[in-house]
């Protein structure tokens, strides 16, 4: 069995009653316990992050045992990496986070200005 198969099988089930009140752990579960999704903290202004690590979850939502979360933080408009492997605090909070679509990285690579994610 591959690591991916083990991760999916050990992932807690998605709790549909929590939709709309997602924290980073809920987002992780909705992604079948796979990292790589993008987030924005509501107070971050023009920053966004790609989740790169979530520790082992306990089976109980909403905090799932509050495992560590790490992410690469980027300047949304320029694509500049602001902090690699940053520890994400308050990952269990439902009032701080929103999942965002993956930024169009090709725009970053070619230096084009990107629209603000504030209205996403």
pLDDT tens track for 68-81? 999 999 998 888 89
Domain encompassing residue 17? 3-113
What's the confidence (pLDDT) of residue 88?
Answer: 96
What's the confidence (pLDDT) of residue 12?
Answer: 77
- 118 assigned to some structural domain: no
- Report whether pLDDT(112) > 70: no
Domain count, the chain: 1
- 18 assigned to some structural domain: yes
- 101 assigned to some structural domain: yes
- 61 assigned to some structural domain: yes
Residues 76, 36, 20: CA angle, nearest 5 degrees: 80
- 119 assigned to some structural domain: no
In 3D, which of 120, 109, 115, 38 has the Cα closest to residue 80? 109
- 64 assigned to some structural domain: yes
pTM for this one? 0.78
Cα-to-chain-centroid distance, residue 4: 18
Rounded CA-CA distance 60/7 in Å is: 17
- 107 assigned to some structural domain: yes
Residues 32, 44, 117: CA angle, nearest 5 degrees: 70
In 3D, which of 16, 57, 39, 35 has the Cα closest to residue 101? 39
């Amino acid at each position: 069995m591959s690591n991916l198969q083990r991760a999916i099988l050990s992932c807690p089930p998605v709790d549909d009653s929590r939709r709309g009140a997602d924290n980073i752990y809920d987002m992780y579960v909705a992604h079948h316990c796979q990292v790589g999704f993008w987030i924005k903290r509501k107070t971050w202004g023009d920053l966004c992050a790609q989740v790169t690590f979530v520790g082992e979850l306990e089976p109980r939502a909403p905090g799932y045992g509050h495992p560590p979360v790490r992410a690469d933080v980027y300047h949304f408009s320029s694509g500049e990496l602001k902090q690699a492997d940053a520890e994400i605090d308050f990952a269990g909070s439902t009032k701080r986070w929103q999942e965002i679509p993956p930024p169009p990285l090709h725009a970053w690579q070619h230096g084009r200005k990107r629209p603000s994610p504030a209205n996403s």
